C-alpha cells in the first residue's frame, strides 16, 4: 500500500471545516438573556417585518445547554452578574456572545455602583451592537458580523480589564 499524501488530507479537512462553518452560521440557537427595555427591540427584530429566521436564527432556546449564542439584552446589575456568568458557563462549546444595546456594552448612561460597566468584564463578548436601543437594522448588522465570525471559527476568549483598558 502506498503512502498517504498528507497534502490531500489537508485539502479535505479544510473543505470539511468550511462546510461545518457554513452550516453552523445558519443554525444559530440563541439564548435570550433579556433584562430591560432593549427587549422590545429584540422582539421587533424577531417579528415578521425583519424576520431573523432568514439568517437561521429564528429559534430561541431557553436552556443554555441547547444554545450556542448568548444574546445579552439590557442592563446587567452586579446582583445579576453571577446568574449571567452561570448561564454562560452552562453553554457548551463552541459558543458566542452578543452584547445588545449600550447598557450591555458599556453600562450606558448608568454611572452607579449597582450596574456592570460592560458585560465583557464578566464574560467574553464577540459582537457589540450599539444603540439605546439599537434599531432592528443594527441588530441584523450585528447578526451578520456574528455569522462571519462563526463561519471562520473565530471567537473571543478574553475579558476586558477596565483598569488597564486591555483584553486579558
Ligand atoms: S440601551 Fe437603552 S433601551 Fe437598551 S436597556 Fe439600556 S436604557 Fe434600555
Which tens digits make up the pLDDT trace of 15-70? 888 888 899 999 999 999 999 999 999 999 988 899 888 998 888 888 999 999 99
42's CB contacts (< 8 A; 6+ apart) are 32, 34, 71, 73, 100, 139
Residue range 71-115, pLDDT digits in tens: 999 999 999 999 999 999 999 999 999 999 999 999 999 989 999
Q: Is residue 73 part of a domain?
A: yes
State the pLDDT at residue 18: 86
pTM for the full predicted model:
0.90
Q: Is residue 8 part of a domain?
A: no
Q: Is residue 37 part of a domain?
A: yes
The CATH number assigned to the domain holding 121 equals 3.40.50.12280
Residue range 111-139, pLDDT digits in tens: 899 999 999 999 999 999 999 999 999 99
Distance of alpha carbon 105 from alpha carbon 37, whole angstroms: 14
84 C-alpha to ligand 1 centroid (Å): 17
Dihedral sign computed on CA atoms, order 83, 126, 109, 112: positive
Q: Which residues line ligand 1 (CB under 6 A)?
A: 36-38, 74-75, 101-103, 108, 132-133
Q: Is residue 128 part of a domain?
A: yes
Which range of residues forms the domain containing residue 123?
25-152
Grid cell at residue 36: 430591560
Q: Is residue 56 part of a domain?
A: yes
Which residue's C-alpha comes closest to atom 8 of ligand 1? 37
75's CB contacts (< 8 A; 6+ apart) are 35, 36, 103, 104, 107, 108, 110, 115
Q: Is residue 74 part of a domain?
A: yes
Grid cell at residue 132: 439605546
Q: Is residue 97 part of a domain?
A: yes
Q: Is residue 157 part of a domain?
A: no
Our count of domains for the chain comes to 1
75 C-alpha to ligand 1 centroid (Å): 7
Nearest to 166 by CA among 129, 122, 121: 121
Amino acid at each position: 500500500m502506498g503512502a498517504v499524501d498528507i497534502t490531500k488530507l489537508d485539502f479535505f479537512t479544510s473543505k470539511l471545516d468550511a462546510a461545518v462553518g457554513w452550516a453552523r452560521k445558519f443554525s444559530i440557537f440563541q439564548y435570550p438573556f433579556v433584562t430591560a427595555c432593549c427587549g422590545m427591540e429584540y422582539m421587533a427584530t424577531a417579528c415578521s417585518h425583519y424576520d431573523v429566521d432568514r439568517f437561521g436564527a429564528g429559534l430561541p432556546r431557553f436552556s443554555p445547554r441547547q444554545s450556542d449564542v448568548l444574546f445579552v439584552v439590557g442592563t446587567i446589575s452586579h446582583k445579576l452578574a453571577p446568574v449571567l456568568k452561570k448561564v454562560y458557563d452552562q453553554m457548551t462549546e463552541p459558543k458566542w456572545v452578543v452584547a445588545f444595546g449600550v447598557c450591555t456594552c458599556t453600562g450606558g448612561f448608568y454611572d452607579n455602583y449597582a450596574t456592570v460597566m460592560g458585560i465583557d468584564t464578566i464574560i467574553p463578548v464577540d459582537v457589540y451592537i450599539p444603540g439605546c436601543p439599537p434599531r432592528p437594522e443594527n441588530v441584523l448588522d450585528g447578526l451578520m458580523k456574528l455569522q462571519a465570525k462563526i463561519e471562520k471559527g473565530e471567537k473571543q476568549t478574553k475579558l476586558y480589564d477596565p483598569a488597564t483598558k486591555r483584553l486579558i
